[in-house]
Amino acid sequence: MIYLKIENGKGYFFKEPDQWIEIDQIGKEDLLTLLDKAITDDFEMNDYDAGLLQNKAHQIIYKHLFQKFNELVENKSRFKDESEQLYKSAIEKYTEAIQESGDV
């Protein structure tokens, strides 16, 4: 699903339930929601193109959001693998400690 788009010279972000809001109106809660979507959903965005954005503020905001979300989406599987490995190691360590102490 597309969450960031460029249309009619402006940048927009998708806000539930079915609204497109101008990118310069984005708030902290909106960013957190988009971050969650980028991690859990099929997150798509229109490519950044300064020539398509007529408003300078929209250019700056869209460019930075596109770069950060693109980086997150590209590294999502690596982050997931690393976090699973981290928790796996911790679980194994504490399981061994419990078994050695005889509390099982």
Residue 13: its pLDDT value, please?
A: 98
Q: Is residue 24 scored above 80 in pLDDT?
A: yes
Helix, strand, or coil (residue 1): coil
Catalogue the E-assigned strands of the chain: 2-7, 10-15, 19-22, 44-45
Residue 97 covered by a domain: no
Cβ atoms 20, 14 nearer than 8 A = yes
Residue 59 covered by a domain: yes
Structural domain of 37: 2-76
Residue 54 covered by a domain: yes
Is pTM beyond 0.85 here?
A: no
Contacts (Cβ under 8 Å, ≥6 apart) of 41: 1
Mean pLDDT of 38-49: 91
Mean pLDDT of 12-24: 94
- Give the count of domains, the chain: 1
